[in-house]
Amino acid sequence: MKTIKGPAIFLAQFAGDAAPFDTLDGICGWAAGLGYKGVQIPSWDSRFIDLEKASDSQDYCDEITGTAAKHGLAVTELSTHLQGQLVAAHPVYDELLDGFAPKRLHGNPKARQEWAVDQVSRAARASRRMGLSALPTFSGALAWPFLYPFPQRPAGLVETAFDELARRWRPILDTCEENGVDLCYEIHPGEDLHDGASYEMFLDRVGNHARANLLYDPSHFVLQQLDYLDYIEIYHERIRAFHVKDAEFVPSGRQGVYGGYQSWVDRAGRFRSLGDGQVDFKRIFSQLTAHDFDGWAVLEWECALKHPEDGAREGAEFIAAHIIRVTEHAFDDFAGSGTDESANRRILGLD
């Protein structure tokens, strides 16, 4: 067995325009002061990284990792969630998603999609230069608007959407293969890859591509009422990244999974700071450890109630307390008899 690395923190929710959250050096110093050992960098945030430069320059990548190392931190992954969302976007989202891309691409979905493909591919190359093995992302959504439709979906609509989704991602997956990086799809409502069944549909269409892997985040499964522990048993061989995020689901006679268009505070399902929700992290860390997951345990903080800096401080302590330092020997080795094959055969009555 292997020991999970951590605690680490995803910087996206903490980035800001005031110190120490406005530079990589500043935010790394802040994270290290809370006890974190790694940072996951949002690759779209120019305050922390110039992705185009990182994809082409080893010296620049060394500067990025060196800035983190100065504070005793490792760079755990480069996140491409926003760019991945743009790889496949239904036109209903066009205006909403323009904010994920540079202003020069606003109102031009084709150019925006091409830019997104280039961005994720660049992140794969930058990851290789930085010695990283996992690249978190979103799948994007072509079929999501038709998840629960009325009137009914035309026959073959979902199949066509997933054929196209696979066509768009296959070249990126091949780029990841060339760079020795696992693309880790975060299974997430709002994405076409939102549960195990949809992931399997995609995996089949990309020929079970070795780099089409998973970011495990149990909070999204709580909100969908999906068994997040059984999910580990089914997909552990594909889990290559881990967001540690809590959630709770408290349905009522007024609302359930779909939330009734309420704000996050008032929804039946909502994200919480670590330890404040319903996720059984003791079981999760135990199962991932038993299946030899040796990636990073990365806090993704999203809570409608608690202040983010309090969530970050508590999160470091929470993750550190849940990481299992694996044993080097079996607990009952002291009682071993040291028998050999001949003795085993005698004990079984075979001689």
**Domains of the chain in sequence order:** 5-347 (3.20.20.150)
pLDDT at 332: 67
- State mean pLDDT over 325-330: 82
Q: What's the CA gap between 183 and 1, in Å, rounded?
A: 23
Q: What's the CA gap between 232 and 216, in Å, rounded?
A: 8
Asked if residue 6 has pLDDT above 90, the reply is: yes
60-101 pLDDT, tens digit each: 999 999 999 999 999 999 999 999 999 999 999 999 999 999
Pick the closest to residue 281 from 1, 2, 7 (CA basis): 7
264-275 pLDDT, tens digit each: 999 999 999 999
Asked if residue 302 has pLDDT above 80, the reply is: yes
pLDDT at 329: 73
- pLDDT band of 343, cuts 50, 70, 90: confident
Place of tokens 């755990």: 76
- State mean pLDDT over 113-140: 98
- State mean pLDDT over 153-166: 97
24-39 pLDDT, tens digit each: 999 999 999 999 999 9
- pLDDT band of 1, cuts 50, 70, 90: confident
57, 143, 188 from 191: Cα distances, Å: 32, 8, 6
pLDDT at 342: 87
255-294 pLDDT, tens digit each: 999 999 999 999 999 999 999 999 999 999 999 999 999 9
- pLDDT band of 240, cuts 50, 70, 90: very high
Residue that wins the pLDDT comparison between 84 and 347: 84
Q: What's the CA gap between 199 and 213, in Å, rounded?
A: 9
